[in-house]
Every structure is written in structure tokens, then in C-alpha cells.
Structure 1
Amino acid sequence: MNTEVSTTARRRPGNLFQHYPITLRLVAGLVLLAGLALASMTSTLWLASSVEGDARAINEAGALRMSTYRLLVVSHERVPGLIHPSSMEPRATYWRRDFELRLHSPTLRFALPDDPTHAVNLALTQVENAWASSALATGDRMPTLVEAQGLVEVIDRFVSALEEYSERKLTLIRITLWTFAGLAGLLVVVLGIWLWRAVIRPLGRLIEQAAALQQTRLHARSALKGRGELATLSRSLDLMAAELSAIYANMQAQIDERTRSLADERARVALQEERSVIARELHDSLAQTLTYQKMQLSLLQTRLQGRYPEDSDWQETVSILRTNVNEGYRKLRELLSTFRLQLNHPDLDTALASTVSELQPNTPTHLLVAGRFGDLGLAPQREIHILHILREALSNIIKHAEAETAQVSIERRYNEVSVRVSDDGRGLPVAVQEDGQQHWGLSILGERARQLGGTLQIRRRTDGPGTEVTLTFSVEA
């Protein structure tokens, strides 16, 4: 319980009503403002009604002085007993009764305060006592001027008290009006500040955020705090903007990836078309020439066989020429096969698996692949160099190694990739290891490694029989 009290004590006043809806708070403010206006009007009307008869009462009290002087004059007339024309009674009796009527008139009594000890009531009592004890009221003797003036002085004090009482009520009315006006003005200022901070400014920020979202500026946030309706709407818009931003970023990444893939595919197609053109030109020119040379050698051998059947010199020469032509034709076919190699697969791993599947049916050597290239992001030309090097290394194992198993091992360390092609065959001959550039097309492998921006190492295995070809290159080369 103490914890709850301390928590409530630390709560800021501005946060007391935040859990109420804005509409309810606005209606409460308007009701309070209307209540102040109604209270102001009610109190003003009540005070005004209390002052309503004061002017007539003051006039009535002032008329008592005139009645006193008239009664004094009538009492000193030389011809006593004169009749008042309007009442057909003696004039002294008329004005004495007039004084009594004015002194006890409802108009005068209505303006008196309810408190009998009030100064106005006390002053009226003095007037009544002074009148009752004066000769003007009894008529048993001749009233004097001094006596009449004394009565008038008492009446003047009563009139002054009555005027002062009326003035205090008017002052109270003015104070009440100014008080309610000040409270209403303060409430209007408070409502204005609250409307600016809780409604107008947050709505402006929400409108700005909506305009920003319409212009696809998805990073815009209103970030309104609190627990009101606008804060809840702000959090919903911020969450929606964050989700849209994530979706947009994901779509943009997919578009960029697709664009890059299309660009790589176009580059592959262009490269493949160029290589196909070169292959066709080689086939149409050099391949036909070598074929024609083979036919001429066969024709030459037939003719020489008929003329010089016992001469062995020409046979050795023709045999050497035939061997050279066949070797040139074989290298040309390898070159054409290299140029016609297509990289129609989405990545190197799939292309390598396809190459292994293509070579496996033609050899008893068991071909294995360990590891993956993954997404290296290489240019199509570099991917073709890598695939050619691996294909040539596997082809050499199949042709020369007499191995039971050949394995392609792939390992990546950060931006450097190492590919090792090893076998358990008869191993690399010493002559080839000393000068590998002249044997089994190894010079082509070294040249491709250099164009790839990497290094190629060919050696006998140190951990058993067989050969090991290691290609190392950088992804960012």
C-alpha cells in the first residue's frame, strides 16, 4: 500500500488524465467552461435582483426628509386645521400618515438585509425611535426646527447606510463578474494549450508522416508518446512504416539480386556466343585443314608404298607426320571442346556436379566432391576458368592416373578459396613434376590460373600415392 501511495505521489499532474479519451477530456473542458458561464450568469442575476429595489428604497428613504419638513411647516401654519385637498383630512394628519406609510413601505423593507444586527437595520430602528419620540409624530405639542433637524439627521444616516449597503452589493457583483471572467479566460487558455499539445500538434505530425509515406519516405516516424488515441494511432503508423520499410528493403534486395543475376546471365550468354563463334571458325578452318592433311598423308603413303615398298625411310617420315597431325587434331578437338563448354547452371556447385556426372560413366575411378563454393559472386569468365581447370584436372586423372578414387575438395577462408583435386593413382612422374608445363596440357591449366588471378600447384601427394593439384584464388581479385 505504501508503494502505491508513493507511486501516486510521484505521478506528474499532466499524466493524471492521459488514460481518458481525448473526446471525453474535450467534452469535460467544454462542460466546465459552460458551467463557469452558467454560474457567472446565475450569481450575477441573483446579485442584480438583490440590488433591483435599492434605488427605489433609497428614494423612499430620502422622501422621509421631505415629509419631515412638510410636516414641520404644516404644524406651524397660522390657520390650523386646514384640509388637504386630496384626502379631505387635516393637512398635519395627512403628512403624518404619509411619513408612516413611507417608513413602513414594502419597497423600503424589501431592500433591508436579513441580518437584524446589520448597520442598515440598526439605522432604520434609530429612525423609528426618533420619529416615535418626536412631536411631529405625536402632535401633542408644537415641533421645533431643532427637533425636525435631528430627525432629518437620523434619516440621513439611514440613507447613507442604505446607499453603502447597495454599493457593497454592486462591488460584489463586479468582483463576481471579474472572477468568473478570469476563470473562464484561464480555462480557455488551458484548453487552447491542451488542444495544441494533445490534438493539433500530434495531428500535424501524423499528417506529415502520412504525406511522407505517400511519397515512399518510409523512414519517417511521428513517434508520439502517451496512451491516448493519437499516440496509439502514431504507434500503429510507425509499426506499419517499419514493416513497409522492411518489405521495401527486401523487395529492393531481391530486385538488385535479380538484376545482378540477369546481368551475369547476359554476360554468360555473350561470352558463350563469342566462344561458340571462335569454335566454329576453328572448326571450319583449322579442323578442315588438318583433315585434308590426313587425307593427303594417306594418299602419299599409298603412292610411296607402290613405288618404294622396301624403303623404310619414307615410312618413318610419314609415320612422324601422321603422329604430329593426329596430335594436332587431338589438341584442336580439346580446344574446341573447351570453347564449346557452356556454363548453363546457376552456380559453380551445380556446374561442378554436372561435370562429375558427365565424366563418371566413362571411368572406373570414383569421383567425389567435398565442400561447396557457395555464392562467390564471380564474373562469368572467372567461373569458366575455374570449371575448365577442374574439368581438365579430372580428365587427366581419368586418362593417366589409373586411380580408384579422385576427390575435389573445396575450402573457403574469408575471401580466399582453395580447391584441391587429388587422386590415389600412380602419381606424377618425376619428369612431369620437374617440368609440368610440357605434359598433359598442364600448361593450359597454369595459364588459366593466371588469368583467374590465382596460383596453381601440381605435386605428388605427401600423405600417400597419387597426385594433388591445388588452385588458390581470391574472390575479390
Structure 2
Amino acid sequence: MKSRSPLVNRIAVVVCAVVLTALVSMTTTLAVSKSIEGNATAINLAGALRMGAFRLLAHAAGPVDSLTSANSIKSLAAEYEDNLTDNLITRAIPGSADHPLANQYRTIQAYWKQTLRPSLENHPHGLPVSANMVAATEAYVDSVNQLVSMLERRTEARIDLLHLIQIISLAFSVLIIIALFVDLRNRVLKPLRKLVSIAVAVGEQDFSRKANLKGTDELAQLGSAFDQMSSELALTYYELEERARSKTEELEKSHTALQLLHNASRNLFANHDLCSGAVPMLQELEQLLGIGPILLYLHDKESTEPVQAVTTASADRPFYCRDHHCNACLVTSEIYDELPIEEHDGRRLLLPIRTPSGLLGTLEVWYPAGKGLSETARRLLETLSDQLATAIFLERQITEQQQITLAEERTVIARELHDSLAQSLSYLKMQVARLRRLNIEGSQKPAHDAILEELSTGLNSAYRQLRELLATFRLKLDTPDLATALRKTIEEFSGRLEKPVKLTYNLPPQALSPNEEIHTLQIVREGLANAVKHADATEIFVEVVFESPQVKARIKDNGKGLPENGQPTNHYGLIIMQDRARTLGGQVAVRNREEGGVEVSLTFVPKSRHLIPTETSST
């Protein structure tokens, strides 16, 4: 199919058609007007020929006025013939020989020359005209009338043709103008209105309108350009709007996250406990950023592998959990299976928790692989790791400072005990020894010996307990923690037993307070002292384990066991251990083992339980 002309070409065609119509109309009108030029004069002259013929007839029948009458009729006839052949008449006669008007004119000329003129010239002047002459004249006049009628009809036909040409030209011009207006309306006005409406809509941020103009003209091309521009503007606007919305949401998330981190930092530094200070904050951060779970691992010099200290989502209670009333990190198996961990199309981000003095731990963050992790979220997590590093460092510093302070106090107490109570006990022992050397006879001797034996036993027990206290108080630790103190204690008693004492230890870092560590260490030392001194054991086992939420310390030996009454020979140490256990909120049990030997067990729950309020638990 032939494509339509562009707009300019169509307008040029319309203009050319109008001009051509006008030229054709003017040319044909001019030609027709030219063809009927002089017809009116010819009709008038032809009409005068009729009257001239009757004048000649009347002149021929009139009285004789003079001798020149004959010449007069001839001159009149000649004059009449000149009028008959006048150029004004001959020009109105078509040049075609077979044209009816030309035939009629030749007939009139022939009749005039052959019949009527000779009759008029040969008629005797003064005599009445004959009926034949009158009939001939009338026949001639009838022929002239026919000629005049034919001239009139021919002129009227030319005028009608002129009218027809003008009507056709007018109609054609009207049709061209109507077609021009229709084309302008359809091809110019409507597209322009569409383009203007699209421009207004684009100004109002409405990019849904489209021109959808058909064709290949300029406005169609302009409409296509408008549609493409509108689509590109819509895409650009929506992209910018989406970016602005995304940035706004990201800024709102950042603001909320920063507020959360600010509140969390205060809680971390106020509680001095990672679980209570970190878990609720990390869970809120997970919901805000669409990430999780988050796990916190601490690096401890006593452990070759990082120790998990905090998790935000777990199907089972973590081994380090000290509060079984808290369910902050527990989720159902169905929820846990949907978390973005390694088995569930998740990606892991590891962030170091470090201070200038060294690496304290690692923050493990899981996030969906398809979603990814934005730069803002990454920066927030880095800020979180810095805050956790500060909190952990300060907590360790406070704990170590408390332990150092306590160690210094213990050193002072040990010095005071050595300088006062130890000397007093030594003095009393010497006095008892002097009393033993006295010879007392009589009935009072058994009572005297019993009292001395009891005093000696009590003094020896008190002196031994004092030496144990002094040994404990004088422990010098590079890092004052329970694990180091236990290892040094095991080395000490292994030397005294002359056989290695086996130790099993799995307490999480920072599980006990300094006071709890001291009492636990003292109970273990007391149990070891009893096993080495009284049990005659060849093997001793020490276990200090964490069985959530309890801490259990067991001292087992393969010695001779307890006496039948269930009390050891020296029961002062058991009393002291029970007092320490009550201070810890726990209990000490001493029993004989089925396989032989004695087991001393300490069970207590660390005082740092119930740190996470129940109402903040996630499940």
C-alpha cells in the first residue's frame, strides 16, 4: 500500500489543486467568453436584416419619384448585401462547413443572391409587388429568423456551458476546501490537541497518555517522538521516584537503626550483660533491615575456637543459656527453617569485633541471597560491631578490674591473717604441746588428755584451713579468671599427690561473677585437699561444667571413702563448703561412689540469671 504523503506535501497538493481548478475555470471561461464575443451584435444585425428586407420590398413597390429610382434600389440592395456579409455576422458563424448555422447562413446568402435580389432589382419601379415577391420576401425573412434563433441558441448554449464550468469549478473548489478542512481536522487539529493534552499531562506528572498517531507525516512522527519521550520520562520519573522512595526508606531505616543502636549502647553499658543488652536490640535490627539470624562469637585465650555467646534465633536452647525462664532467642522449627542460613539460600557477613588492643570476637550476620545487603545496612552493622567491641572491652575491663581488686583485697587479708591469726594459732599449738609434756597423774588424766586431743585437733584443722586460705589468697594470675586459677590449683595438688589430677572445664566466658569464681575455687580446693590428705586416693578427677542453667563442680577420687556414719573425720571443711554453697545459692553434696571413693559435688545457678525480662521475649 502506498504510504500517504507527508503533511507539507498534502498541503502543497491541495494548494496546487485549488490553483489548477482556478486556472482551468478561468481558462475555460475566457475561451467560452471569447467564443460568444460579438454574438449579440451579430444577432442585432441579423434581426435588422429582416426589417431591411421588408424596406427593400416597400421601396420597390413605392411611386416613382425620379429617374434615379432604379439606381436607388440597386444601391439599397448593395448596402443590404454589405450588411448581410458584415464581419460581425460572419465571425459569429462557425467556420465548420457542415455546421447547421453555417449551412443556414449559406442558404440565406444563396437565396438573397439568387432569388430575392434579382427580383427586387428587376421589378418595375412603381408597380405593385407580386404575391410571389411577397412570399419570397417572407420566406427569406423566415430564414433570417431561423438564423437569428440559431445564433441565440448557440449563444445561450455557450452561456450555459460557461455556467456549468463555473458550477463545476465551484463544486470542485468546495470539495477541495472541505477535504482540506477534514484533513486538517483529522491530520492537524486532532493530533495537535492530543499533543497539547499530552504536554499538559506531562507537566502534571501524568505519563500514561499516548498519542498513538498513525501515518508517516510530520505530526505522526512528532506524536511518536512524544510517546517515546513520555515513556522515557515516565521510566526516568518512576526510577527517580523509586530511588527517592528507596533512599527515604533507607534514611528512615538508618534513623531508626541509629536510634536503636543508641538505646542499645546505653543498655549494653548499663546491664553489663551481652544477652540482656544485645538480643532484643539485634532482633529489632533484624526486623528493620530484613536480615537475620545474627550470632556473636567471643574469642577467649583459653579456647582454640570462638565461643558462641549470643544468637537471635535458635530452635534449641543454647548451651550457654543461664536463664531457662527466658525464651528471647527461641523460635519454632518452622520459623528457623525459613531463616536465610547456609542451607536455606542465605549469605553470611562476618564482621570483626576488635579494639586497638586486639580481636575480641566476631559478629556473624545472615541475610537473604536474593535480597542482598545494602551499603547503609552494612555501615550500620559495622557501627554495631564497634559498639559491641566497646561494650565487651569495657565489660572485660570491669570484670578484670573487679578481680584484680578482689585479688588485692585477698592479698591484704592473707597478710593480715598471716600476721595475726596464723601467729596466734601457732602460739596456741605450742601451748598445747607444752601441756602434753606435763605429767598429770590421777583420775583427771583421761579428761585432760581428751581435752588436749580435742584442742590439738581443732587447732590443726583451723591451721590447715588457714594455710588453704593463705594459699588461695596468694594466687598470682596473669589473667585473673577461674580457668587459670583452676589450672594452677590442679598443678599444685598434682604435685602434692605426686600424680596428675585430671581437669574437665567447659564454662562459657564470663559465666561467673568474681565472687562466684572465688567460692567455686575454694570449694574445689577444699575437696582436693580432703582427697589428698584423707582419702589415700591414687586418682582424682575434677569437673567444672556448665549444664544450662546450672554450674556443676565435681571432685571425684578412688580413695577409701567416707566412714560408716557418713561424716568425714574432719568435718570442719564440709561445714565451710556448705556455707560457701549457700552463699552461691546452691548446695554441696558429699557421698561415697559405687565404684569406690568419694564424690564432692557443688551445684548452683549463676546470679546473672533472669537478665532478659520475660515480656521482651520473642516467643
Shorter-chain TM-score above 0.5: yes
Q: Does 226-235 or 344-353 show the bigger shift?
A: 344-353
Out of 93-102 and 336-345, give the one that drifted further. 336-345
Partner residue, 1:59? 44
Maintained 8 Å contact 1:213/1:241: yes
Aligned to 1:334: 273
Which residue in the other structure is 2:242 paired with?
Answer: 253
How far apart are 1:25 and its partner, in Å?
Answer: 1.3
Matched residue type, 1:172: L
Structure 1 residues 279-305: Cα deviation after superposition (integer angstroms, max 9, x where no partner): 66x5xxxxxxxxxxxxxxxxxxxxxxx
Partner of 1:116: 97
Query: Which residue number in structure 2 is paired with residue 140 of structure 1?
Result: 122
Amino acid at match of 1:118: H
Pairwise CA distance, 1:275: 4.2
For the Cα contact (< 8 Å) 2:267–2:277, is it kept in 1? Answer: no
- Report deviation, 1:445: 7.4
Task: State the shift of 1:229 in Å.
Answer: 1.6
Residue 200 of structure 2: aligned partner: 211
Contact kept, 8 Å, 1:224 with 1:234, in 2: the verdict is: yes
Residue 200 (structure 1) aligns with: 189
Match of 2:180 among 169, 181, 191: 191
Q: Is the 8 A contact 1:72 1:148 kept in 2?
A: yes
Find the aligned partners of 2:292 and 2:548 in 1 and give their Cα distance.
35
Q: Spell out, residue by residue over 1:194-229, the C-alpha distance to the aligned partner (whole angstroms, 9 max, x if none).
A: 111111111111111112212222222212122222
Question: Structure 1 residues 22 and 359 mapped into 2: Cα distance closer, same or farther (>3 Å)?
Answer: farther
Unaligned segments of structure 2, at least 5 residues: 309-340, 347-365, 390-482, 484-504, 509-543, 552-604
Structure with the greater alpha carbon radius of gyration: 2
CA contact (8 A) 2:507 2:545 kept: no
Counterpart of 1:38 (choices 23, 35, 50) is 23
- The alignment status of 1:107 with 2:75, answered yes or no, reads no
User: Residues 397-416 of structure 1: matches in 2 within 5 Å?
Assistant: none
Deviation string for 1:163-210 (max 9, x for gaps)?
111111111111111111111111111111111111111111111111
C-alpha distance in 2 between matches for 1:350 and 1:430: 25
Match of 1:237 in 2: 226
- Aligned partners of 1:428 and 1:83: how far apart in 2? 176
CA contact (8 A) 2:213 2:223 kept: yes
Q: Is the 8 A contact 1:36 1:184 kept in 2?
A: yes
User: Which among 128, 133, 144 is matched to residue 109 of structure 2?
Assistant: 128
Q: 1:97 and 1:452 mapped to 2: Cα distance?
A: 145
1:121 Cα deviation after fit: 1.3
Partner Cα distance (2:252, 2:192) in 1: 47
Partner Cα distance (1:439, 1:228) in 2:
89
Matched, 1:169 2:108: no
8 Å contact from structure 1 (residues 275, 339) kept in 2: yes
1:134 and 1:337, CA in 2 relative to 1: closer, same or farther beyond 3 A? same
Q: Are the aligned partners of 2:6 and 2:216 in contact in 1 as well (CA < 8 Å)? A: no
**Distance in 2 of aligned mates of 1:113 and 1:360:** 134
Alpha carbons 2:53, 2:137 under 8 Å: kept: yes
Q: Is this contact kept in 2: 1:58–1:162, CA < 8 A?
A: yes
For 2:171, the equivalent position in structure 1 comes to 182
Q: Output the CA distance in 1 between the equivalents of 2:144 and 2:260.
A: 128
**1:367-382 correspondence runs (5 A):** 370=342, 371=346, 372-374=366-368
| Aligned equivalent of 1:223 | 212
CA distance in 2, matches of 1:135, 1:72: 9
Q: Does residue 143 of structure 2 align to residue 154 of structure 1? A: yes
Over the matched positions of the two proteins, sequence identity in percent amounts to 21
- Distance in 1 (CA, whole Å) between partners of 2:168 and 2:608 is 109
CA 1:444/1:72 → structure 2, altered by over 3 Å: closer, same or farther? same
Report the 3-state secondary structure (helix = DSSP H, G, I; strand = E; otherwise coil) of the residue aligned with 1:219. Answer: coil
Output the TM-score relative to the length of structure 2. 0.48
SS of aligned partner of 1:373: strand
What is residue 460 of structure 1 aligned with on the other side? none
Separation of aligned partners in 1, 2:260 and 2:101: 120
Q: Deviations over 1:95-124 (max 9, x none)?
A: 101211111111101111232222211211
Is the contact made by 1:81 and 1:90 (CA closer than 8 Å) also made in structure 2?
no
- Aligned-partner Cα distance in 2 for 1:431–1:340: 18
Alpha-carbon contact 1:276-1:340 (below 8 Å) kept: no
CA-CA distance at 1:133 after TM superposition = 2.8
C-alpha distance in 2 between matches for 1:153 and 1:77? 23
Structure whose residues are more often helix by fraction: 1
1:169–1:427 distance in 2 versus 1, CA, 3 Å: farther
CA distance in 2 between counterparts of 1:154 and 1:212 reads 83
- Give the length in aligned residue pairs: 343
* Cα distance between partner residues in 1 of 2:35 and 2:301: 122
User: Partner letter of residue 169 of structure 2?
Assistant: F
Residue 53 (structure 2) pairs with residue 92 (structure 1): no
Q: 5+ unaligned residues in a row in structure 1: which ranges?
A: 1-10, 283-331, 392-398, 404-425, 456-477
Contact 1:72 1:136 in 2 (8 A): no
In the alignment, residue 152 of structure 1 is paired with which amino acid?
V
Distance in 1 between residues matched to 2:221 and 2:100, nearest whole Å: 64
**Contact in 1 for aligned 2:49/2:80 (Cα 8 Å):** yes
Are 1:73 and 2:58 matched, yes or no?
yes
Tell me by how many angstroms 1:347 deviates: 5.5
Deviations 1:319-377 (A, max 9, x none): xxxxxxxxxxxxx5316982699879995879958x55x64888421589843313599
Cα gap change, 1:164/1:273 in structure 2, threshold over 3 Å: closer, same or farther? Answer: same
For the residues of structure 2 that align with 1:445 and 1:278, how far apart are their CA atoms?
Answer: 11
Alignment partners' CA distance in 2, 1:427 and 1:156: 152
Q: Distance in 2 between matches of 1:334 and 1:244?
A: 55
Q: Is the 8 A contact 1:96 1:137 kept in 2?
A: no
Query: Partners in 1 of 2:300 and 2:6 — Cα distance?
Result: 76
Rounded to whole Å, the distance in 1 between the matches of 2:163 and 2:136 is 41
Aligned Cα root-mean-square deviation (Å): 4.3
Given that residues 97 and 103 in structure 2 are in contact (C-alpha distance below 8 angstroms), is that contact kept between their aligned partners in structure 1? yes
1:229-269: CA deviation from partner (whole Å, max 9, x where unpaired): 21111111111111111121111112112212222222233
Give the 3 Å change call, closer, same or farther, for CA 253–81 of structure 1 in structure 2: same
> In 2, Cα distance between the equivalents of 1:98 and 1:159?
20
CA separation of 1:428 and 1:235: change in aligned 2, threshold 3 A? farther
| Corresponding residue for residue 473 of structure 1 | none
SS in 1 for 2:209: coil
For 1:396, the equivalent position in structure 2 comes to none
What's 1:364 paired with? 304
| Compared CA separation, residues 348 and 98, structure 1 to 2 (3 A) | closer
Q: Do 1:225 and 1:231's aligned partners in 2 also have CA atoms closer than 8 Å?
A: yes
| Cα gap change, 1:225 to 1:446, in 2 (>3 Å) | farther
